[in-house]
């Protein structure tokens, strides 16, 4: 069960109903329970408890504490932690040289007093939206107690750690949806910021052009608390009602082949937003259909992943997840001229999309077009796996492609499998988008 929000936990601490040490101890006990199988690759029990005890001692002494002090936070396995290798959930890097220092994102969490509970499982090298990992197995989505469903990826363990109440936030990355997809499938809030907000240093790369360091949590407010730590300073967010905000509803690509459960939840969400006064405007946004052509040949992620992995692909390909290797191999043989052309055409595309979105506070669509399928359906069928992976990435990738920012908010009703509602805006509009996300979150809660 998910933890209360950060603000609610701090109220419990202040009232003497809970200590941070008790909270972290429960999280560590939960991390060892069967329901949390395959969520963590490594636990930091002593480090987490020490951070919690330190925060409790400061609180008893009357020292004001930052919001994350002593709270459990998980770290995706692709971030450098001083003194340890950074495997990115692979076999190839299990014996990599230890990191000389924490990644800036990890260092900032430590400096904020967060109790880092462990390294979370993920799609190998972050190269899948599904979340299946053949080396460390796959954490089951907690949204269904009867069927083991995919958690979404690539930040699979991060999402399940939050959904099970083992952390208040999961530090992860988002290259084409790797925060928002698992957030949507597990019923969480995920925030993909503009890439430049948080340093990429110390995060094992998938695509230097598209990678973003960000996190998922229980609420929009919690995501903003964590983002303020990761970015080095909180963004100025002005709260306002939804009434009068202009929200674009793209009609190209993002509404194709929606599963009935997603279509129903999306329609209800739009009704809630309209009832709260949002001005919903259908927008063709035909540019979304151009990404496949602009991103050819190979695609930015495969080309840049090939640059990272080419030596291992040639010498030790058998040690890769075969499905990851197949996607990395798409970048082999792409010429420098073709790569530069991709980047140039992307810049031109971004300018056109930003012009189309001018005058709107955000655009809105389903985060993904399906609910989480059973893990078993995808383990033995490459065809089913790659079809599902493509669908999961379809609506989220355009945000990375335009170097934009986006939230995924849960919009399903109680008793339904999770469905995400995505709010997106061009790069640099993070604070404006956060204002929209807070208002949309309140409208959805009122509707439910």
Would you please indicate which residues are annotated as catalytic (active-site) residues?
Answer: 76, 154, 178
Burial 10-23 (b: 16+ CB within 10 A, else e): beebeeeebbbbeb
Question: What CA–CA distances, in Å, run from 246 to 91, 241, 364?
Answer: 48, 12, 10
3-state secondary structure of 445: helix
- What is the Cα 295 distance to its own chain's centre? 22
Total residue length of the chain: 448
- How is residue 248 annotated by DSSP? E
Q: What share of the chain is helix, strand, coil (3-state, %, to 5)?
A: 45, 15, 40
Give the span between the Cα atoms of 387 and 68, in whole angstroms.
39
152 and 216 Cβ atoms separated by less than 8 Å:
no
401 and 295 Cβ atoms separated by less than 8 Å:
yes
Bridge partners of residue 76, in order along the sequence? 120
Judged on CB neighbours under 10 Å (0-12, 13-18, 19+), 304 is: buried
Give the span between the Cα atoms of 31 and 322, in whole angstroms.
29
138, two tokens: 């796959």
Mark out the alpha helices in 372-447 (DSSP H runs). Answer: 375-379, 382-394, 397-401, 430-447
DSSP states of 116-127? EEEEEP-SGGG-
Integer Rg of the chain from CA: 21
423, two tokens: 């709010």
CA diameter of the chain: 63
334, two tokens: 């792409």
3-state secondary structure of 364: strand
The strands making up 169-173's β-sheet, listed across from edge to edge, are 40-43, 115-120, 72-76, 169-173, 213-217, 189-192, 405-410, 420-425, 362-366, 246-250, 279-283
């Amino acid at each position: 069960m998910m933890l209360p929000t950060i603000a609610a936990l701090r109220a419990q601490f202040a009232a003497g109903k809970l200590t941070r040490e008790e909270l972290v101890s429960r999280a560590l006990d939960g991390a060892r329970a069967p329901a949390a199988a395959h969520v963590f690759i490594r636990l930091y029990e002593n480090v987490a408890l020490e951070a919690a005890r330190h925060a409790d001692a400061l609180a008893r002494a009357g020292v004001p504490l930052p919001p994350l002090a002593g709270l459990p936070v998980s770290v995706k396995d692709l971030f450098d932690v001083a003194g340890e290798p950074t495997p990115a959930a692979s076999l190839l890097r299990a014996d990599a040289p230890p990191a000389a220092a924490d990644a800036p994102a990890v260092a900032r969490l430590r400096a904020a007093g967060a109790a880092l509970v462990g390294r979370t499982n993920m799609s190998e090298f972050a190269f899948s939206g599904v979340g299946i990992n053949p080396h460390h197995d796959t954490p089951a989505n907690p949204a269904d107690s009867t069927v083991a469903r995919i958690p979404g990826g690539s930040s699979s363990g991060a999402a399940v750690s939050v959904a099970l109440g083992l952390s208040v936030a999961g530090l992860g990355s988002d290259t084409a949806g790797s925060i928002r997809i698992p957030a949507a499938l597990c019923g969480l809030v995920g925030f993909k910021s503009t890439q430049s907000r948080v340093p990429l240093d110390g995060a094992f790369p998938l695509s230097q052009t598209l990678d973003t360091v960000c996190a998922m949590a229980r609420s929009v407010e919690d995501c903003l608390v964590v983002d303020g730590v990761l970015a080095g300073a909180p963004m100025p967010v002005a709260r306002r009602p939804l009434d009068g905000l202009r929200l674009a509803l793209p009609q190209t690509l993002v509404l194709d082949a929606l599963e009935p459960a997603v279509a129903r939840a999306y329609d209800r969400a739009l009704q809630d937003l309209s009832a709260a006064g949002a001005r919903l405007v259908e927008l063709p946004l035909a540019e979304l259909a151009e990404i496949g052509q602009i991103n050819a040949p190979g695609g930015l992620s495969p080309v840049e992943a090939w640059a990272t992995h080419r030596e291992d692909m040639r010498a030790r390909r058998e040690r890769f997840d075969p499905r990851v290797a197949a996607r990395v191999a798409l970048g082999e043989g792409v010429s420098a001229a073709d790569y530069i052309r991709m980047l140039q055409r992307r810049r031109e595309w971004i300018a056109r999309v930003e012009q189309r979105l001018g005058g709107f506070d955000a655009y809105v669509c389903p985060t993904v077009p399906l609910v989480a399928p059973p893990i078993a359906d995808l383990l033995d069928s490459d065809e089913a796996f790659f079809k599902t992976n493509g669908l999961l990435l379809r609506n989220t990738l355009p945000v990375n492609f335009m170097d934009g920012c986006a939230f995924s908010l849960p919009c399903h009703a109680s008793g339904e499998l999770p469905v995400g509602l995505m709010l997106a805006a061009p790069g640099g509009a993070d604070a404006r988008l956060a204002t929209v996300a807070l208002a949309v979150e309140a409208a959805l809660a009122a509707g439910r």
